[in-house]
Chain A
Amino acid sequence: MAARTLFDKVWAAHEVVAETPDTPAVLYVDLHLAHEVTTPQAFSTLRSLGLRVRRPDRTLATMDHSTPTQTDQVFGSVPIKVDAAARQVRQLEQNAAEFGIELFGMRDARRGIVHIISPELGCTQPGMTIVCGDSHTSTHGAFGALAFGIGTTEVGHVFATQALLQRKPKSFAVNVEGQLPRGVGAKDLILSIIGKIGVSGGTGFVLEYRGSTIRSLSMEERMTVCNMSIEAGARAGMMAPDEVTFEYLRGKPRAPKGKAWDAAVARWRTLVTDADARFDASVDIDAADIEPMVTYGTNPGMVLPIGSVIPNPRGDEVFDKAMRYMGFHGGEAMLGKPVNVVFIGSCTNGRLEDLQAAARILEGRKVAPGVRLLIVPGSQQIKREAEAAGLAEIFKAAGADWRESGCSMCLGMNGDTVGAGEYSISTSNRNFEGRQGKGARTLLVSPLTAAASAVKGRIADPRELI
C-alpha cells in the first residue's frame, strides 16, 4: 500500500462510501458533540420529518455558549439574566429528553465547554471522527482524531444518519522543530503559525502538526494548538497520538478499560504518518525563534512578537480599517498599551495548565487598579481542581473575578461582555470586531501574557514576571 498520512488513515477508516467525481464520500461520524446554540433548528428539522436521532449513544450534549458564569444563575437561586439564553438552555433540555441524548446540563458536575469536557471524560480518542456545530471542534485533533466544525444543516444530517457527505480535503504538514523558549507557550506557537501562513492559508486543508516541538507538548498544550487550526482557515488540525496521549487517556471515565484498553492502544499506535508519505503543502517553523505573541488587529493573523512595533503598510485598506477599529497606528509599540479587561478562559486556554500558568504570575501580586480580570474555568471539573489546588484563592486574592465554567467572554453571548472601545487582553481565539461585545477591542495572548498584563495594567512581557 502507498505511504499514507495520519489524516489519510483516519479518513479511509471512516469512508462508508468512497467519493466519485459526481458524489462526495459518505463519511462515518464516531462522536457527535452538541450544544445549545447550533442544534435547535436541527432538532426542528428532525421533528418536521418525523426522524429520530439515529445513534444517541454516539451523541453527547452540553450547554456552554449562552450559559451564565455567575454561581447564583447557574444553580438557579436567581433566574438566568439573558432571557433568550435561558430559553435556548431550556430548549436543549427538552430536545435532549425527547430524542434520548445524554446531556450534561446546567447543574451537572461534568458540564463545561464542549471541547474541554469530551477529552476530560475520555470520550475523545485517537483515530475517531468527531464533529460538532462549532468551528473549534478542531481541538480534538490533538488526539489524532479527525475533528471538524459543521453547520446546523449538517448537525441534522449526523443526527439522522450518523454520517456526512464530504469531499476529502488536502493535507498540509506544519513541521515544528526545537525548544520553545522560556515564557513562550502553545498559544504563542499557534499564533505564530497563523501569522506565518495567514488566516486563509489553511483553507481546503487538514493540517498535521509534526516535529520534536509538538511531541514535547502536553495534551493540554496540544489542544491549544489544534483548537486554533480554524483561525488559519483549516478544516481540521491533527497530531499523531503517542505515549503522552495514551497517558492522558488512561483511566479517564470513558476511555477503554482492561483488555479493550490494550487493544485500543495497539490500534492507536498505527495512527502515524508513514515515513515516505507526501503532503500537498508544508511549512517549517523554528520553535526557538518564537516569542510571546500578541495580536494588534481584527483577525488572528494580524499578530506580532510582543516586543515589536505595529507594521506600517501603505494603501492596505484591511490594515487601515483594523487600525481605526483598534485605535492603533502603524509604527506604535505593543508593549505598554493600556488594558481595561483581561479574560482568561475559553476552549483555547481554559484548562488547568492555563490556570496554573496564570497563577504563577498572579501569586502574591494584585491586578492593577482599574483593570477587570475575569477568570473562567473551561469546565466544572477544572473549577474543582483549581479550587483544590489553591489556584482560585490566588486569583481571588489578586482581585480576579472567579466564575463557573463556560465560553463566557470569548464571544459574549451570555452577558459576559467587554464594553465598547475597551481593550481586552484575552486568552480566547478570535479578535474579530465586536467578538467580545459591541465595539470591544480584543488582543489575543497566552495565559502568561494575560496575567502579566493584568498585573501591570498595560500590555506586558511575561518574561519579566516569571
Chain B
Amino acid sequence: MQPIRRITGRTVVIASSDIDTDQIIPARFLTTTGKEGLGKQLFADWRYQADGSPKADFILNRPEAHGADILVAGRNFGCGSSREHAPWALMDYGFRAVISTEIADIFRGNSLKNGLLPVVVDERTAQWLLQHPGTQVDIDLESAHLTLPTGTTVSFPIEPFARHCLLNGVDELGYLRSKLGDIERFEASQAAS
C-alpha cells in the first residue's frame, strides 16, 4: 500500500444522513470476484436512470463534482452491510477521504485497510463543509488535523495503529503474521486447558 501523509483536495457534498452501503454500491453488483472497476457502480441507483443514462441532478454527474477527491456526507455514513465493495467503489471512483460527524464501525475499518481515510469531525466543522461544497481542504494525517480554507484547523480522531500503517504504507497482515508465534502459544494453552 502507498504511504499516505497528507490529502489536499476538493470536496463534493452528499448531505444525506445514514447513507448505507447498499446505496454506496447496490447488492446486485456484489457478484464480482474482483475489486477493480467498481467506481462506475458507485451510488448506482442515485446516479443513473433505469436506462443507464446519468441523472442530471445527482451531484456526481454535475461538472463541479468532476475530479473531486473528498466526499463530505451527513452523519452515520457507511452503515449497514459489511461489504468492502463500498470503500473499493469510492476509491476506484477517485475519493481518497470521507468526512462526516459519524462513520459506521465496519465501514470505517474497511476504509482504513484500503487507504480511504475516514475523517470524523465535530458538528460545526461538518456544517461548514456541508454548506461549502467544492471547497479545498487539507488533511494532515501525521498530525491528524484538517484545515479549512478559512484557516480553521480541527483535529480528528484516528486509531494510532491504523494511522501508523497508513503513514508508512504498512500492510496490517504483515504485522499480524509477525504475531504467529503468540497465536501458536495461545492455541497450545487453549488445547491444554
Contacts and interface: CB of A to CB of B under 8 A. Distances in A.
Given A41-B33, A203-B102, A430 B22 contact: yes
B84 A165 contact: no
B82 interface: yes
Given A24-B159, A432-B23, A156 B105 contact: no
Contacts of B176: 26, 157, 160-161, 163-165
Given A135-B106, A157-B173, A199-B79, A318 B17 contact: yes
Interface residues of A, number: 65
A135 B30 contact: no
A420 interface: yes
Interface in B9-64: 15-18, 20, 22-23, 26-28, 30-35, 45, 50
Contacts of A162: 183, 187
B33 to A, nearest CB: 4
B109 A151 contact: yes
Contact of A133 (B20, B26, B82, B177): B82
B8 interface: no
B96 interface: no
B83 interface: yes
B128 interface: no
B65 interface: no
A165 B175 contact: yes
Interface residues of B, number: 51
Contacts of B82: 38, 133-135, 149-151
A24 B161 contact: yes
Interface stretch (A14-22, A305-313, A362-370): A14-22
Contacts of A134: 81-82
Contact of A233 (B74, B76, B175, B182): B76
A109 interface: no
A22 B161 contact: yes
A216 interface: no
A49 B75 CA distance: 38
Interface in A143-160: 149-154, 156-157, 160
A12 B22 CA distance: 34
Nearest to B172: A165
A320 to B, nearest CB: 11
Contacts of B35: 41
Contact of B22 (A22, A169, A235, A433): A433
Contacts of A47: none
Given A21-B160, A157-B176, A413-B30, A16 B45 contact: no
A26 B172 CA distance: 11
Interface of A: 16-17, 21-24, 26, 28, 37-38, 40-41, 44-45, 49, 65-66, 82, 84-85, 87-88, 91, 133-135, 149-154, 156-157, 160-165, 167, 169, 199-200, 203-204, 230, 233, 235, 299, 301, 317-318, 321, 411-413, 420, 430, 432-435, 438-439
14 contacts: A16-B179, A28-B183, A87-B31, A153-B173, A154-B109, A154-B113, A163-B183, A164-B176, A169-B105, A233-B79, A411-B22, A413-B27, A413-B30, A434-B45
